[in-house]
Amino acid sequence: MNKDIFFISDYITREKREKLHKHLGCLVWITGFSASGKSSIAKDIEKKLYDKGCISYALDGDNVRRALCKDLGFTKKERAENIRRIGEVCKLFVNAGIIVIAAFISPYKEDRKKVAQLVGEDRFIEVFADCPLEICVKRDPKGIYKRAIAGEVKNFTGIDADYEKPDNSTIHIKTDSVSIDKAGDIIFKYLTDNGYINF
Amino acid sequence: MNKDIFFISDYITREKREKLHKHLGCLVWITGFSASGKSSIAKDIEKKLYDKGCISYALDGDNVRRALCKDLGFTKKERAENIRRIGEVCKLFVNAGIIVIAAFISPYKEDRKKVAQLVGEDRFIEVFADCPLEICVKRDPKGIYKRAIAGEVKNFTGIDADYEKPDNSTIHIKTDSVSIDKAGDIIFKYLTDNGYINF
């Protein structure tokens, strides 16, 4: 049906927006197990970007899974649709010249790759929040691993659903030994060193 | 399943973002028939906001229907899901302190009301792009009315699907007699007069 939707050219290109914002639009995609520190790192980097006057926004389970994707569960197919929608939202933000930080388990390589292709490889920064599963299970701040192990929660990554580690993430952070603050610094430094942010 | 998703408090609130951006986050929602001028008005106001240094972004069929909502058709149920998803995306942008301009036929009152409730009534500005159907049919820049009349396109608003006019839109623009430029000015003035933008 979508052949019946036509294009209108934009006056305000991403480049113009980036000039206004004084930084590029890009997507920092944080993948890793539940309790690996993804959302905390996202909030930390969001704060650091805000303090420098950058326009950024963090997306995670809280503001997406409960909202845009509230109709979706956790089967492989539903996870793919979840990540597809998130990817499309990230693309809108990146086109708006904003630095999006997306913190999602996103366990499948194929889904993450599709997001990278969607927003453009040069605007996609993959961060692997790498924390051994046994430590995440021990942390279990939400008690959800306990419930997954008991079989009360199904398709839970690391318990009865796979996690495919990135082969070649842009930034690899061992979140069992690196603090949230330090992780935020590493990402911020990457953004500045690679010209996403220019001061 | 969503009881298993927990909240983390945000450091950077909408208020802080609005302080940085020097304007409020809000949603300008333009409703009306196809060819009533919605997208053109959206692009015009986006340009005017950009020229004043405001962070804004226009959403329309081009960047949403072909992307986030490409799996959806045009039945009443699918239109509701389309508008629901768009509403959720708008909410993210508004929470990010951005002025979103959404240009969608959005023919049903109930769907539009849900969007208003989602982003907050005080952040929702409904613009009715009011153009008589016969003029839209005559304009028909995409040839789509012709195809709908011939029965080649189904569920097309105004032809074989209803349009419920807003009873009490914030801004009502007769787009058969008011120019795009003037329409953009009217909306821009509303935003400044009502404290969304402050210079």
Tell me the residue type at B46.
E
- In chain A the first and final C-alpha atoms are separated, in Å, by 46
User: Residues of A numbered 11-70 whose beta carbons fall under 8 angstroms of chain B's beta carbons: which are they?
Assistant: 11-12, 16-17, 20-21, 39-40, 43, 46-47, 50, 53, 55, 57-68, 70
Q: How far is A48 from chain B (nearest CA, A)?
A: 10
Percent of chain B with pLDDT over 70: 94
Question: Tokens standing for B149?
Answer: 């009349």
Domain annotation covers residue B16: no
pLDDT in tens, B32-55: 999 999 999 999 999 999 999 999
Residue B120 placed within a domain: yes
CA atoms within 13 A on the CB side of A158: 24
CB pairs below 8 Å between A and B: how many? 121
Residue A67 clears pLDDT 80, i.e. is over it: yes
Q: What is the pLDDT of residue B136?
A: 97
Report if residue A2 sits inside a domain: no
**In CATH, what number is assigned to the domain containing residue B161?**
3.40.50.300
Pairwise CB contact (< 8 Å): A11 & B43: yes
Give the structural domain span for B76.
23-193
Burial class (CB in 10 A: 0-12, 13-18, 19+), A36: buried
Q: Which residues of B are catalytic?
A: 106
* pLDDT of B199: 55
- Contact B181/A at CB under 8 A: no
Angle at A70 between CA A14 and CA B91, to 5 degrees: 40
Residue B1 falls inside a structural domain: no
Q: Is residue A11 part of a domain?
A: no
ipTM of the complex: 0.92
In this structure, is residue A110 part of a structural domain?
yes
Phi-psi category of residue B26: left, alpha or beta, with phi > 0 → left and psi -120 to 50 → alpha: beta
- The answer to whether the CB atoms of A46 and B12 lie below 8 A apart is yes
**For the ranges A135-139, A147-151, B63-67, B83-87, which has the lowest average pLDDT?**
B63-67
Distance CA B20, CA B24 (A): 10
> Order of strands, edge to edge, in the sheet holding A99-103?
A56-60, A99-103, A26-31, A124-130, A171-174
Chain A residue with the nearest C-alpha to that of B38: A8
The per-residue pLDDT for range A78-122, each reduced to its tens digit, is 999 999 999 999 999 999 999 999 999 999 999 999 999 999 999
- Domain membership of residue B131 (yes or no) is yes
At A25, give phi and psi (nearest 5°): -85, 130
Q: Which of B93, B174, B193, B160 is nearest to B130 (CA)?
A: B174
Residue A11 has pLDDT above 70, yes or no: yes
Coil vs helix vs strand at B197:
strand
What parts of chain B have a pLDDT lower than 70? 1-10, 199
For chain A, the domain total comes to 1
The DSSP secondary-structure symbol of B157 reads: B
Kind of pairing between the strands at B99-103 and B26-31? parallel
Q: Is residue B38 part of a domain?
A: yes
pTM, entire model: 0.93
Residue-wise pLDDT for B148-159, tens only, equals 999 999 999 999
Check CB contact under 8 Å for A2 and B91.
Answer: no
> Which of B27, B74, B89, B160 is the best substitution to test chain A (most A C-beta atoms within 10 A)?
B89
